[in-house]
Amino acid sequence: MKVQVDAQICAGFSVCLGLAPEVFELHDNGYAVVRTSEVPSELEDAVRKAVSQCPSSAISLTDSLDSESG
């Protein structure tokens, strides 16, 4: 599973950081950025929670099901 934060939409509420500090961090500009775009499986629940609780709906998930690497 991959995660992205849309910097255009993020409003810096830091909800995501509270839920998954291993995955999100606050950029100098006050908005969230992703530390690791590939979400470790043990953090998927926390990241899904962040997605649903982000007040701006700025976080999006993509399944990493592409079979690029065979």
Query: Quick one: 19 or 65, whose CB is closer to ligand SF4?
Result: 19
Instruction: Please state the closest distance from residue 65 (CB atom) to ligand SF4, in A.
Output: 24
DSSP per-residue string spanning 4-59 = EE-TTT-----HHHHH-TTTEEE-TTSSEEES-SB--GGGHHHHHHHHHH-TT--E
**Minimum distance from CB of 50 to ligand SF4 (Å)?**
6
Q: Does 56 bind ligand SF4 (CB under 6 A)?
A: yes
The residue ranges that bind ligand SF4 (CB under 6 A) are 5, 10-16, 24, 31-32, 54-56, 58-59
